[in-house]
Amino acid sequence: MQHIRIAIALAAALAAGQTLAQDMMGASASLKGPDGGDRGTVTFAQTPAGVVITAELTGLPPGVHAFHLHQTGACTPDFGAAGGHYNPAGAEHGFMAAGGPHAGDMPNIHVPDSGNLTIEVLNPNVSLGESDPATLFDDDGSAVVIHDGADDYSSQPSGAAGNRIACGVVEKAM
């Protein structure tokens, strides 16, 4: 699967006139639950259209959960350390709000009874480029957070999504 993504990214980069180095920027986050248990891995790949975010999640409670990028690259001492949603443009929260969404707002995820889920999301509002105003690698970094409830896509400031049940710091791929 990774080879297919690389081939697609390379073809898109060549078509857009970008260099391979620009296009192949990547990152990842290892998600942990409040108990310290593994909850999966999230990978990030820069494309000409935005960042493709692939989440391979495990051990989550079944149901609908909010899936966000948060403003601070910290998950400890508790998941509140990740701060609010990533929002470099100062937008309103939510896909349904006038003036929204935050750059870190993404669609809800629907976890089956197994607690395991693999998803891919394109986020056109963020970047892995360090000089980009919407970079996930600003001075304090960023984090991926999963909440125990669904994002209602409109409530301010964060969608009434409930407690944070998984968190991971976004780190540059080597």
Q: What is the CATH number of the domain that holds 126?
A: 2.60.40.200
Is 14 inside a domain boundary? no
- pLDDT tens sequence across 85-104: 999 999 989 898 998 899 99
**Number of domains composing the chain:** 1
The SS3 call for residue 95 is coil
Is 8 inside a domain boundary? no
- Helical (H) or strand (E) element with 158: none
Domain range for 160 is: 25-172
Is 65 inside a domain boundary? yes
Is 13 inside a domain boundary? no
Cα separation of the two ends of the chain: 19
Is 12 inside a domain boundary? no
102-107 long-range CB contacts below 8 Å, 24 or more apart?
102/68, 103/69, 103/134, 104/68, 104/69, 104/70, 104/71, 104/142, 105/68, 105/151, 105/153, 105/159, 106/53, 106/67, 106/68, 106/69, 107/67
Distances (CA, A) of 27 to 21, 46, 65, 164, 173: 14, 9, 23, 22, 4
pLDDT at residue 44, rounded to an integer? 97
Is 167 inside a domain boundary? yes
Determine the residue type at 19.
T
pLDDT at residue 24, rounded to an integer? 52
List, for the chain, all residue ranges whose pLDDT scores fall below the cut of 50: 1-11, 13-23
Cα 115 from Cα 126, distance rounded (Å): 28
pLDDT at residue 5, rounded to an integer? 45
Is 74 inside a domain boundary? yes
Is 55 inside a domain boundary? yes
